[in-house]
């Protein structure tokens, strides 16, 4: 287990999916549709705490920690999109999940797009929340991002830097985010923290090495896309100053055939914590249509 020190305030289980990988997951609710939640970079299952309790009244909700995150297997993993998608696909098969709708946030959105493309016979719908993958980067831009996102960068971050990084995810940061901030600060004292820093760096490299931008037109599933109008992370504010978040959202709207875009006012990147009510309403309507 990567971080046994974390205290999850919900029931969770752990399943062995083979190849020495154990996945921690939260499984609540029943229904014809199964929502499979995929967290973002440097995140974990608690990111969904504000929407699963309500959505689980109508749908089966399954949220996972990716390998190297939360309470899933400890170690330094590849971090490639293909690696994670293989893991998630094996999890779906091991759990015998049916009528799967992927719900991916940020990095999880990129993975959801790639999964929908690779396993279209298994994935019924796609819900992308402030997804990575719609913004494209040149080779020079990729090099710049990786140079500024190495493991030592994450390892050396102090309290103030961590707090500011969390604040940048929101238009107005909710008070209950402090529990996640404290988890992140406490990590620095854990013996496997450097492994975790490598995981974050590897995951980011995986997103850049395996873009999905050129394949967006091939997505077959109905796709619901959310962006906060005040997202400070998408587009990249250093490399693409000329673009707005709505510009990126329109890429999804224009290229993904069966897509609907919802722009949320007064909301940043971490939509599941800042605007959970909007997500709950729109997701329920989307799956009930």
pLDDT, tens digit, for every residue of 123-170?
A: 999 999 999 999 999 999 999 999 988 999 999 999 999 999 999 999
Tell whether 259 is covered by a domain: yes
Claim: this prediction has a pTM higher than 0.95: yes
- CATH code, domain carrying 222: 3.40.50.1820
Tell whether 179 is covered by a domain: yes
Structural domain including 87 reads 13-288
Number of domains observed in the structure of the chain: 1
Tell whether 2 is covered by a domain: no
75 pLDDT above the threshold of 90: no
Tell whether 3 is covered by a domain: no
Tell whether 24 is covered by a domain: yes
Tell whether 8 is covered by a domain: no
How many other CB atoms are found less than 10 A from the CB of residue 121? 7
Structure tokens given for 100? 């799967």
How far apart CA 268 and CA 145 sit, in angstroms, is 21
pLDDT, tens digit, for every residue of 252-281?
A: 999 999 999 999 999 999 999 999 999 999
Tell whether 4 is covered by a domain: no
How many other CB atoms are found less than 10 A from the CB of residue 66? 31
Could you tell me which of 58, 29, 113 has the C-alpha nearest to residue 285?
58
Tell whether 233 is covered by a domain: yes
């Amino acid at each position: 287990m990567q971080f046994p020190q974390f205290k999850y305030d919900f029931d969770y289980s752990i399943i062995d999916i083979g190849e020495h990988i154990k996945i921690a997951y939260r499984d609540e609710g029943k229904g014809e549709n199964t929502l499979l939640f995929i967290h973002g970079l440097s995140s974990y299952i608690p990111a969904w705490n504000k929407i699963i309790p309500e959505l689980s009244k109508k749908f089966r909700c399954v949220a996972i920690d990716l390998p190297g995150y939360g309470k899933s297997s400890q170690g330094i993993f590849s971090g490639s999109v293909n690696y994670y998608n293989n893991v998630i696909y094996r999890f779906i098969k091991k759990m015998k999940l049916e009528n799967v709708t992927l719900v991916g946030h940020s990095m999880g959105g990129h993975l959801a797009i790639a999964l929908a493309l690779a396993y279209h016979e298994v994935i019924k719908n796609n819900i992308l929340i402030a997804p990575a993958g719609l913004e494209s980067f040149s080779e020079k831009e990729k090099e710049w991002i990786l140079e500024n996102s190495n493991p030592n960068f994450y390892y050396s971050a102090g309290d103030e830097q961590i707090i500011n990084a969390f604040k940048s995810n929101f238009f107005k940061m909710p008070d209950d985010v402090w529990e996640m901030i404290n988890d992140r600060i406490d990590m620095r004292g854990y013996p496997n923290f450097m492994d975790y820093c490598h995981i974050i760096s590897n995951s980011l490299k995986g997103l850049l090495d395996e873009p999905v931008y050129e394949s967006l037109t091939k997505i077959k599933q109905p796709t619901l896309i959310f962006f906060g109008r005040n997202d400070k992370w998408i587009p990249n504010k250093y490399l693409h100053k000329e673009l707005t978040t709505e510009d990126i959202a329109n890429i999804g709207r224009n290229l993904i055939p069966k897509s609907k875009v919802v722009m949320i006012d007064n909301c940043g990147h971490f939509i599941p914590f800042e605007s959970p009510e909007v997500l709950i309403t729109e997701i329920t309507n989307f799956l009930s249509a």
